[in-house]
Amino acid sequence: MDNIFDNMMDDLMKGHPQNFQTQKQIRERVEKHRVEMELKEHNAKLKRKRLLDESRKPKADLKPEFIKEQKEVIREVKSNVDLMSDYITNTVKKEIPKTDPQSIRENYSVEERMRLLEQDVFRVKRNQHPIH
């Protein structure tokens, strides 16, 4: 970056002598820009150093973690038939106990029994004429 500024300054010095005032203004701007760039680079280096220093400091409130040994889990070796058998026994639907009519009459009101009968009628009709 500095070489570019030096080259610009050399070109200005070799330029037309009648534009000396303009060259002087341009030279001042180039110098000002060079100083600003050096200041920005210096600040960036300081900021980088500060950030690195902060990141390298261990935090006092953290306790070191100890690595826990993993316990080896030993699984039983089962055949595919045994696995499927276990799966079937776990997924079998439990049979719903049938209620006798006596308990329905005693536990439900007339409106609720009518609703149950309507549901039964619709269920039976649906099973007789499935929708294709």
List average pLDDT for each run of 10 residues in the chain, which is 132 residues long.
Answer: 70 65 79 88 90 74 70 81 85 67 70 86 79 59
- For residue 17, the model assigns a pLDDT of 58
- For residue 59, the model assigns a pLDDT of 63
CA distance 19 to 11: 13
pTM of the model: 0.29
Alpha helix segments (H runs only) across 19-79: 20-56
- For residue 99, the model assigns a pLDDT of 64
Return the domain boundaries, the chain. 2-56, 101-132
Contacts by 67-75 with C-beta closer than 8 Å and gap 24+? none
